[in-house]
C-alpha cells in the first residue's frame, strides 16, 4: 500500500505489516511551512444586504468566524486523525464580500517537519461553517463550496501553487 507520490519517497500511513500508523517525520529537518486555502459560501442577495448593513441577527459574523477558524487551525490534530501536533506560528483569516457570496482565505505558518495544508483547510471550513451558523436564522439556503488548497511552500516537496 505504500505509494511513491513524494519525489521517489514512499509515503504511507500503513506499516510494512499493513497496520495503520501516523507517518514518522522525526528524521525530517524543520523548515518554514506556509499554506493557503480558500472557500466560499453562497448567499442570497437579501442576506448580503443584511451583512453590509451590519444588522445580522447574531452579531458580528466576521469576528466570530475568524475566532472559530483560528481555533480550528490550532485543533486540527484532534479533528483529522493522522495530522501531527504542530506549533502554529501564524494564522490569518480574511473575508471578502462578493456579489452573492463571502469568500474566506486562511493562511497558516509554522517552522516544522510537516506542512500546514490541513490546518489551512480546516480553518477555512470552520470559518465558513460559522458564517452559516451566524446567518441561518435569515437564510437556510446558503451553500458552502470551493474549499481548496491554493498554495503551499516549504518541505521536501517544495512549493506548489494552484494554476489559474
Residues with catalytic function = 133
48, 97 contact by CB (below 8 A): yes
* Residue whose C-alpha is closest to residue 61's, from 141, 134, 139, 140: 134
- Classify strands 31-42 and 101-112 as parallel, antiparallel or unpaired: antiparallel
Determine how many CB atoms are found less than 10 A away from the CB of residue 5.
Answer: 11
CA dist 71 and 69 (Å) reads 5
Amino acid at each position: 500500500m505504500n505509494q511513491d507520490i513524494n519525489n521517489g519517497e514512499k509515503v504511507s500511513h500503513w506499516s510494512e505489516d499493513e497496520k495503520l500508523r501516523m507517518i514518522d517525520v522525526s528524521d525530517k529537518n524543520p523548515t518554514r511551512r506556509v499554506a493557503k486555502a480558500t472557500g466560499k459560501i453562497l448567499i442570497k442577495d437579501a442576506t448580503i444586504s443584511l451583512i453590509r448593513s451590519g444588522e445580522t441577527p447574531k452579531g458580528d459574523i466576521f469576528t466570530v468566524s475568524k475566532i472559530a477558524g483560528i481555533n480550528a487551525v490550532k485543533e486540527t490534530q484532534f479533528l483529522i486523525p493522522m495530522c501531527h501536533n504542530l506549533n502554529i506560528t501564524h494564522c490569518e483569516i480574511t473575508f471578502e464580500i462578493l456579489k452573492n457570496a463571502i469568500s474566506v482565505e486562511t493562511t497558516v505558518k509554522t517552522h516544522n517537519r510537516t506542512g500546514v495544508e490541513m490546518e489551512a483547510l480546516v480553518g477555512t471550513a470552520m470559518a465558513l461553517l460559522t458564517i452559516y451558523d451566524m446567518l441561518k436564522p435569515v437564510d437556510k439556503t446558503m451553500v458552502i463550496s470551493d474549499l481548496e488548497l491554493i498554495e503551499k511552500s516549504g518541505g521536501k516537496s517544495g512549493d506548489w501553487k494552484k494554476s489559474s
